[in-house]
Amino acid sequence: MMTIISAPGDLIVATKDGVDVRFAGVESIADAPFSATEWLGKQGTRLHLEGIRSPETQRRDEHHVKEISQWANLRERDGAEAAGDAPAMPGQLVLGPVGADISDDLGTIYRWSAGQVAGSGTDWDATWVYLPEPPAAARFLRIEFTLDGEPTGKTCKVQLG
């Protein structure tokens, strides 16, 4: 079990293109819903982030619906190859660049291993998996949030065990 010791009061850890991103939790996991080869059979840490719903996210969702409609029409008219990939969900564009540098009191460095982002007309959320699992002797994790790889100045401290 992990207990948050310190975090920003509003839990906002980054702002990307006018959308605030909130720290939504952290947990130890033994089985992730991701199919990354390096993950199989390993334990790690799962970090949760949320884009805070606002008029800006609603505007982006509405724009995405139009983009998807245009893409679907092009796909139907000219074929899948001509249409290319579906437009990215707006939540991907906002949450994708938000990450974290995680370390513990023993000096273990955790690295991002897998992730999942959603956000289009729904809750905007991201889940990142970091490896390795915290050593048994570690007492806490320090989570330093990043945006496009640069620190945001926001950190959380989480007690392990």
Report the percent of the chain where pLDDT is more than 70.
90
- Asked whether the predicted pLDDT for residue 120 surpasses 70, the reply is no
Which of 48, 47, 61 shows the shortest CA–CA distance to 19?
A: 61
From CA 157, how far away is CA 57, in angstroms rounded? Answer: 29
pLDDT band at 31 (very low <50, low <70, confident <90, very high): low
User: Mean pLDDT across the stretch 130-156?
Assistant: 95
User: Mean pLDDT across the stretch 87-102?
Assistant: 92
**What is residue 42's predicted lDDT score, i.e. its pLDDT?**
72
Report the percent of the chain where pLDDT is more than 90.
71
- Cis bond before residue 132 (omega within 30° of 0): yes
User: How many other CB atoms are there within 10 angstroms of residue 53's CB atom?
Assistant: 15
From CA 112, how far away is CA 107, in angstroms rounded? Answer: 16
Pairing of strands 150-159, 124-131: unpaired
